């Protein structure tokens, strides 16, 4: 793999085998992290949105049957 120039940044192309193994798609959010030492990096999926949704679902909040979310009211607070 070679480091390439992309605008003012540097870029890496991910091999298709890695893309398939990780189930990556265009638009996925990734983080590059240092694994150990100074010259090793890894790519990890940034699943904070998915994790947040899973945490909210785990709360299992029961709302009254007649509850209706009002965006205007929520934004007025």
The count of domains in the chain is: 1
pTM of the predicted model as reported, rounded to 2 decimal places: 0.50
**Taking residues 65-71, what's their average pLDDT?**
87
pLDDT digits 0-9 by tens, 16-42? 998 999 899 998 888 888 888 778 888
Where residue 62 sits, what CATH number does that domain have? 2.10.260.10
**Taking residues 44-55, what's their average pLDDT?**
80
- Which domain does 56 fall in, by range? 4-76
Q: Are strands 9-11 and 4-6 parallel, antiparallel or unpaired?
A: antiparallel
Q: Are strands 41-45 and 30-34 parallel, antiparallel or unpaired?
A: antiparallel
Cα distance between residue 62 and residue 8, in whole Å: 50
């Amino acid at each position: 793999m070679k480091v390439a120039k992309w605008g003012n940044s540097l870029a890496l192309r991910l091999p298709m085998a890695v893309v398939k193994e990780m189930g990556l798609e265009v638009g996925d959010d990734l983080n590059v992290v240092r694994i150990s030492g100074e010259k090793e990096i890894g790519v990890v999926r940034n699943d904070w949105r998915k994790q947040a949704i899973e945490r909210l679902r785990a709360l299992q909040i029961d709302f009254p049957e007649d509850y209706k979310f009002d965006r205007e009211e929520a934004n007025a607070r």
